[in-house]
Amino acid sequence: MTLPEVGIFARTFPRTTAGKVATAVAEAGFRLAQFNFSAIALPTLAPDVSLDAVTAVGRDFRDAGVTVWGLSATYNIIHPDRARRSRQTRQAARLIEMSPLLGVTAVTLCSGTLNTGDMWTGHPDNRSTAAWADLRSTLDALLEAASNAGIKLGIEPEAANVVDSAQRAHRLISELGSDARHIGIVLDPGNLVAPETIHRQDDIVNEAFDLLGEHIIGLQAKDLTAAGPAPLGRGDLDYTMICRRTLELGRAVPLIIQDATEDDASRSGRYLRDRLHAARNT
């Protein structure tokens, strides 16, 4: 069995140009990346970026021998400020429609929070009917853009957002019906398992794979302990088990390293490849 590719967030290597970012990714030992325009000091949604500039990013990564698997288009898609939400949705749709110039499989999103200060902080009403309706409304516009572009929207279950669990992700896919073909799940065990639930990680992670397996298009990899975040491989998440479940999907699903420091990127990549080999041999 060919092992899945291990990639990394390109913003791990902030540089002044996409070519320099791509070179740094390759020199750290990666042939796969998730790109965010913040890596070259632009806003994530890059509202003013031109078609030529996006084309150049794709060319720079190809020249460096790095495939751009995904493009980040993260913003708060249920922000209570409707004018802001509408403006950013138009920007995200434009970015999605340009994303084939990078050769991506997916454009990744945040499923949103009613917290106006930070889209990675929860809110008591995120599980309300109104919040779910806002999520579905915004997704309609983005699904149309994804259909036009021929890519998938990557939805990541995230504890602080509306889609905060494997169960909520499964509900979304079920409700979307035929439109679900434009959605893929980006599974990050470090978002589903919290420091206080790390003793239950086997149940949580296995449930996510069981519920969402056929829809998973990528995994993100970071680590944690009961005390909080940790460098990949130096925490308590069982990546041999996670990699085994990934291999059981029976298709090439990449693992993208998140939250590594530049100095620790190469070691993190080696660790994850070692866990994939261990999983294949168990």
Backbone angles phi, psi at 67, to 5 degrees: -85, 135
Q: What is the pLDDT of residues 221-249, one digit of tens each?
A: 999 999 999 999 999 999 999 999 999 99
What is the amino acid identity at position 227? A
Q: Is the pLDDT of residue 1 over 90?
A: no
Q: What is the pLDDT of residues 103-161, one digit of tens each?
A: 999 999 999 999 999 999 999 999 999 999 999 999 999 999 999 999 999 999 999 99
Q: What is the pLDDT of residues 17-70, one digit of tens each?
A: 999 999 999 999 999 999 999 999 999 999 999 999 999 999 999 999 999 999
Separation CA 25–CA 33 (nearest Å): 8
Q: How many Cα atoms occupy the beta-carbon half-sphere of 192 within 13 Å?
A: 28
Exposed (0-12), middle (13-18) or buried (19+): which is 6, by Cβ within 10 Å? buried
